[in-house]
Amino acid sequence: MSTIRSSRATTTRPAMLIEDDVVTSATGRRLLAVTRISLGFIFLWAFLDKTFGLHYATGAAVAEGSPSVAWLNGGSPSQGYLEFATAGPLKDTFASIASPASDWLFMLGLLGIGLALILGIGMRIAAATGALLLVLMWLSAWPFAEGSNNPVIDDHIIYALVIVTLAVLYTGDTWGLGRKWAGLSLVQRATWLR
């Protein structure tokens, strides 16, 4: 006599986790979506300000009539900082990577992380690259120096923790394209793209 096996799955784990599976409060999901979009706008704004020289974090031209420090006008979004504004024992290491390539990597990082967070797609990549960028910025300021605000935790570390939390909780699903993105066959095959 042969044994007939049931065609039902023996696991209770869903085929694709979604935000509703891990965040059961609708209010919580909406608050996380607002946090995700807001953090994305921080990255996107930094990209826009440095690209176009909007005179917020990117300073105005020194004298009236001089060219803007915008990246589009030949300004350097990373080189000046890496060469002259870093501190601590890693100062020379950061100065050694200052180049047009560091400008491109920094700016593409800001743009990619910002768009991924706002759209709710590629959250794992955004979390990994965003957290790395933020930790490097934290280290470049050398927070352990006497006179710093806090030698351990500052806004860079908090943002890094938030961006990772947002990815782990699948927050791109609420008010974002995360669920549709996760349904793409490429993303289902390469889950690190989720």
Could you give the C-alpha distances from 169 to 69, 72, 110, 189, in angstroms and in order?
38, 37, 22, 20
Residue 68 has pLDDT above 80, yes or no: no
> Ramachandran region of residue 138, left (φ > 0), alpha (ψ -120 to 50) or beta?
alpha
Lowest-confidence segment of 67-71, 157-161, 173-177 by average pLDDT: 67-71
Give the rounded distance of the alpha carbon of 189 from its chain centre.
23
User: Could you read off the pLDDT of 34-59 as tens digits, one per residue?
Assistant: 999 999 999 999 999 999 988 887 76
Determine the residue type at 168: V
- Measure the CA–CA gap between 11 and 175, rounded to whole angstroms: 30
Q: What is the mean pLDDT of residues 99-113?
A: 97
**Are 178 and 19 a contacting pair, CB within 8 Å?**
yes
Return the pLDDT at 55.
Answer: 80
Please report which helix (H) or strand (E) contains residue 110, including its range. Answer: helix 100-119
Determine the residue type at 179: R
* Angle formed by the axes of helices 100-119 and 155-168, nearest 10°: 50
Detail the DSSP E strand segments found in 52-193: none
- Measure the CA–CA gap between 97 and 61, rounded to whole angstroms: 25
Lowest-confidence segment of 7-16, 20-29, 40-49, 167-176 by average pLDDT: 7-16
- Measure the CA–CA gap between 178 and 194, rounded to whole angstroms: 8
Half-sphere exposure of 66 (CA within 13 A, CB side): 9
Return the pLDDT at 57.
Answer: 76
Whole-prediction pTM = 0.87
Q: Is 39 exposed, middle or buried (0-12, 13-18, 19+ CB in 10 A)?
A: buried
